[in-house]
Amino acid sequence: MASELVGALVGWYDANARELPWRQPDRTAWGVLVSEVMLQQTPVRRVEPVWRTWMQRWPTPSDLAAASAGDAVRAWERLGYPRRALRLHAAATQIRDRHAGVVPDDLDELRVLDGIGEYTAAAVATFAFGQRHAVLDTNVRRVLARAVQGRAQAAPALTAAERATATSLLPDDDATAARWAIAVMELGALVCTARQPQCGDCPIADRCAWQLAGAPPYDGPPRRGQTWHGTDRQVRGRLLAVLRAAHRPVRRADLVRAVPDDDLRDPHQRDRCLAGLVHDGLAEPGPDDDTYALPG
């Protein structure tokens, strides 16, 4: 079954893959790493323009390391989860200082970089260097849950059984394994989607365990949707937007105007969120604690 899945999906990918800049023949390992960090919890359509601007400005890790962390946060624009920008800046500094400015191709060395967890390390090793690793993002886990395990969705958290299944499906040679890894991911992004899978367009529908079982509905624990309006995340985002736009220290009064009392869930929310930005390294207070700015 594994060889049939691999052949069908790799052939489908060759004919249907999106032309994304971090997949082009002239891509660099740094460009792949940047894309993987940006794509965490953020759709491709939002990432691509920011990635292009970022890579023009900082085409190598050393270029980014020479800039300030605040510059990285400002260039992150509205991708969300801005701590990723700080971690990417820290990783670039580590690559410059520990690896002579060259993204390492060793999986263990990738793992210890700031903000580069198990998934991102495997993705960079696979997509940048063509190595043989199980790359398990949300899309891949969903495809394997349906095609191999006959379930509508993967478990809420990655399991050892999932990892064993993914590893067992890897082709023996590195090049084919890397192609398979990206093909499964692309199928999950374009066809085998979470809410409305396009099973009529799926190249493996005739051998998909979930389809063969009659497409049973998900029967696991409820999945909570992410809220946004009125949350601390929204307030933090509004405060950070003011700091990004300013290019100078911002007075507390300007931050208060950006998030007026009527928009708060509780009287302490704005102060709590501002303190959180400082704690996370996304903002720095001035000497009098009445001004704030992006990190230097």
Look at the chain and count its residues: 296
3-state helix, strand, coil in the chain (%, to 5): 55, 0, 40
Q: Are 167 and 3 in contact (CB under 8 A)?
A: no
d(CA 59, CA 169): 35
CB-based contacts of 119, cutoff 8 Å, min separation 6: 135, 136, 137
Q: Are 76 and 50 in contact (CB under 8 A)?
A: yes
Q: Are 34 and 55 in contact (CB under 8 A)?
A: yes
Active site residue 118: no
Q: Which of 19, 36, 77, 284 is catalytic?
A: 36
Q: How far is CA 18 from CA 48, 53, 169, 190, 246, in A?
A: 12, 20, 23, 9, 37
d(CA 79, CA 82): 7
Q: Is 93 helix (H, G, I), strand (E, B) or coil?
A: helix
226 backbone φψ class: left, alpha, beta (φ>0; ψ -120 to 50): beta
CB-based contacts of 63, cutoff 8 Å, min separation 6: 57
| CA angle centred on 278, ends 295 and 79, rounded to 5° | 70
Q: Dig out the tokens for 69 from the structure.
A: 């962390």
Q: Are 38 and 79 in contact (CB under 8 A)?
A: yes
Query: Active-site positions?
Result: 36
